[in-house]
Structure 1
Amino acid sequence: MPFEADLARALDRTADSLEPDLTALLGGAVERGRSRRRRRSARVVAGLGAGLGACAVIAVAAGLVAPGGFPGTRSAGSDMEPVALAVPRSAITGDQMVQALELTFPGGRFSRVSGQSNNPADPSGGYVANGELVVDDGQGAAMVGVSAVRLKLPLGDGGGLSCERSPARAKGDTCRLSELPSSAAVPGGAVVMTEQNAAEQPVRADTARRWTVTVTLRSTGAQLQLVEWNSTGGGSGGDVPKATRTAPPLSEQQVVAALTGAVWAPILGAVG
């Protein structure tokens, strides 16, 4: 699932949170421009950027949505139902997202830093907070990004909660669901979805890959998704810079520990 598919799901989430229900949300793109079936009325989101921080304004019917959409999106072209968002409990600034992201990669050198705030007081401001940067930990520069949203309860089978995919994955792509037990850090437990996806097909030796870890709290619907590339940029196919390293900066276990640890606890509490 290429990077812009991630962007698509976050934009879908934001659109689903708007009231009244929009019956003809038009747009397109998110780099792939594939039509998506919807449980409700047909919607298409317009606007995109080559990187996470580039997507700041989305046209939504009569108004504008600026979710910043980054990771946390569902696959473009899939038949999965859209995910409805709930209002975040309090505002999270783009600076907060960036600071937490930098603390997640201690000792790294950062460049191309950008962030996007959410706005719980105004749906047109977007309900998705995110941050993005390129980190160099001495093993090769890598783009990383994170998003924070709150899903409506009860949780369904939407983004970050199901490994169902269409179209078929590239060779070597993986997706796995697991559970975290209830604890002080994860009240009520959490669903963890981990993915690895090639940027293009057929996969070559220098093809970039993307690793995604999504943690969703069962009790509140608060969700964090962290995306790591083994290249310096997102995109699809030949638009993605070639691999700069073989593995992501952090392993799956390290990402889960970080997203459920002290650095991200204030973000999880604010969003959910």
Structure 2
Amino acid sequence: MPSDRQNTERPDFERRLSGALHETGAAFDADRSALVAAGTARGRRLRRGRRAAVLGSVAGVALVGVGGALVVADGGSSDRSPASVTGTPTPSGASSPAPVTADRMISTLEALLPAGRFSKAEGRGVDRNEPLVAPYAQVVYDDGHGAAAVSVTMNRVAPGGYDARQAVRCPDKVYTPYDSCVTSRLPDSSVVTVVKGYEYPDRRVDTKLWTASLVTPDGHHVSVSEWNAAAEKDAPVSRDRPPLSAGQLRTLAAAREWRGVVDAIPKDPRQTQEPPIAQDDGTALRHTLTSLLPAGLKVVAHGADDDSQFTYLVVDDGRGRSLVQINVQPDMSDVAGQLFGAGSETLPDGTLVAARKAPGEKGGDGVVMWTVDTLRTDGFRVVISAFNSGSQETAATRTAPALTLKQLRGIALSPQWRR
């Protein structure tokens, strides 16, 4: 994710995908990173106003777990009889489906899972007054081989839009390590992506997280998650792997019952329809960054995001891999005071420059991040960071990034970004 990956502490996108944005400024105070986050998030909203700013390791799978910002647990009840979540037929002439309750969400999830024992069920139905609060269900499921948390959540996405594509896109391993990712198309033209990964990207605890994310041609988005523990966090591993296979995950996400839930979600009148967009693979941005690299650096990996404001390279000068990532954003003048404080520099042409050396934010052992942030007088912002590792999730591979602060400054101030 473009502007959200680059240079801040995370302010918002805690759906499972954490960001690679960080603080800037040589002498910024402790709150400066949050201000940088706000400026970066604002740059994203300029391009896509209806979506909340997201900080992410990949711009990958948009999974909303039960702890996510869009999910508010209100508990289950004792009524667990299996029932279709589509509810009773609406009266003739009615304009909306019958309500979907938390009870029906939970009982439907239990009915769709293989035989086993269920406990600690909780969920939320469709709230017509809060269309942005996602319905969900979660249970602790035991098939006889150990307890495992299983959850399902769903929402609407604009068919062909950014969110729809991101929901079924494999994560970028530079930002989100995983074991496998398989995307397939179903007979009804729905697309589903199954990812076998981990709750903690740095693997500090071996809690596995396997997910299936499905998007239909009509914009139904269903996300299923399962763990090899009774809770997504702070619970001991109870089995070697989650209970459902990739095929079972795919089938659960594709169950017709969930389509009725999405149909029952009222459309938010405050949201504008997002038109289908053509994919931008960041080629132009990547070529510019590559052309500005010092001699002796070999590009061994690269990636980008769909809105062409972000790209990254992994380079190697023979002394170890180094991640280099950059954001190029227009119209950022109104956050200049937040992004550039004491210790920043003003060039003769009015360009603001801030530089900083800081620890990497993602927890990789010994990882450091060097950043240069620049803002032209017309609001054109270029911010670039380099790390002493090929990924923030892995330990340092070298003592310092492959680019010095001076070299990062030269790249950020290059007039070529105007192209």
Q: What is the TM-score with the length of structure 2 in the denominator? A: 0.41
User: Any idea what the Cα deviations from partners look like across 1:14-72, whole Å, max 9, x if unmatched?
Assistant: xxxxxxxxxxxxxxx9xxxx877463159579xxxxxx6667xx7xxxxxxx7428xxx
Is the partner of 1:173 in helix, strand or coil? strand
Q: What is the alpha-carbon distance in structure 1 between the residues aligned to residue 220 and residue 156 of structure 2?
A: 4
Residue in structure 2 matched with residue 169 of structure 1 by the alignment: 176
Q: 1:117: Cα distance to partner?
A: 1.8
| Contact residue 258 and residue 264 of structure 1 kept, 8 A | no
Residue in structure 1 matched with residue 91 of structure 2 by the alignment: none
Q: Structure 2: any 5+ residue segments left out of the alignment?
A: 1-12, 19-33, 55-64, 74-95, 267-419
Question: How has the CA–CA distance of structure 1 residues 127 and 152 changed in structure 2, closer, same or farther, with 3 Å as cutoff?
Answer: farther
Q: How does 1:249-260 map to 2 (within 5 A)?
A: 249-260=243-254
| Contact residue 118 and residue 128 of structure 1 kept, 8 A | yes
Q: What is the alpha-carbon distance in structure 2 between the residues aligned to residue 67 and residue 247 of structure 1?
A: 25
Q: 1:132: Cα distance to partner?
A: 0.8
Is 2:111 the counterpart of 1:112? Answer: no
Is the partner of 1:212 in helix, strand or coil? strand
Residue in structure 2 matched with residue 68 of structure 1 by the alignment: 72
More relative contact order in 1 or in 2 (CA 8 Å, sep 6+)? 1
Question: How has the CA–CA distance of structure 1 residues 192 and 271 changed in structure 2, closer, same or farther, with 3 Å as cutoff?
Answer: farther
Q: 1:5: Cα distance to partner?
A: 4.3
| Contact residue 67 and residue 126 of structure 1 kept, 8 A | no
Counterpart among 153, 161, 167 of residue 160 in structure 1: 167
Counterpart among 228, 238, 243 of residue 244 in structure 1: 238
| Contact residue 143 and residue 229 of structure 1 kept, 8 A | yes
Is the partner of 1:257 in helix, strand or coil? helix
Question: How has the CA–CA distance of structure 1 residues 268 and 68 changed in structure 2, closer, same or farther, with 3 Å as cutoff?
Answer: same
Greater radius of gyration (CA): 2
| Contact residue 72 and residue 133 of structure 2 kept, 8 A | no
Residue in structure 1 matched with residue 349 of structure 2 by the alignment: none
Q: How does 1:15-26 map to 2 (within 5 A)?
A: none
Q: What is the TM-score with the length of structure 1 in the denominator? A: 0.60
| Contact residue 211 and residue 223 of structure 2 kept, 8 A | yes
User: Any idea what the Cα deviations from partners look like across 1:98-131, whole Å, max 9, x if unmatched?
Assistant: 11111122422111111112224x2x45341101
Q: What is the alpha-carbon distance in structure 2 between the residues aligned to residue 261 and residue 164 of structure 1?
A: 24
Q: How does 1:1-272 map to 2 (within 5 A)?
A: 5-6=14-15, 37=41, 39-40=44-45, 67-68=71-72, 90=97, 91-120=99-128, 122=129, 124=130, 126-156=132-162, 158-165=165-172, 168-170=175-177, 172-182=178-188, 189-200=189-200, 202-203=202-203, 207-218=206-217, 220-235=218-233, 240-261=234-255, 263-264=257-258, 266-267=260-261, 269-270=263-264
Question: How has the CA–CA distance of structure 1 residues 131 and 7 changed in structure 2, closer, same or farther, with 3 Å as cutoff?
Answer: farther
Question: How has the CA–CA distance of structure 1 residues 67 and 264 changed in structure 2, closer, same or farther, with 3 Å as cutoff?
Answer: closer
Is the partner of 1:195 in helix, strand or coil? strand
Q: What is the alpha-carbon distance in structure 2 between the residues aligned to residue 5 and residue 246 of structure 1?
A: 26
Q: What is the alpha-carbon distance in structure 2 between the residues aligned to residue 102 and residue 175 of structure 1?
A: 26
Q: What is the alpha-carbon distance in structure 2 between the residues aligned to residue 174 and residue 234 of structure 1?
A: 19
Q: What is the alpha-carbon distance in structure 2 between the residues aligned to residue 148 and residue 207 of structure 1?
A: 27
Residue in structure 2 matched with residue 22 of structure 1 by the alignment: none
Aligned-residue identity in percent: 24
Equivalent residue letter for 2:196: Q
Question: How has the CA–CA distance of structure 1 residues 6 and 202 changed in structure 2, closer, same or farther, with 3 Å as cutoff?
Answer: closer
The root-mean-square deviation of aligned C-alpha atoms, in Å, is 3.5
Equivalent residue letter for 2:248: Q
Q: 1:258: Cα distance to partner?
A: 3.0
Aligned length: 198
Q: What is the alpha-carbon distance in structure 2 between the residues aligned to residue 145 and residue 107 of structure 1?
A: 16
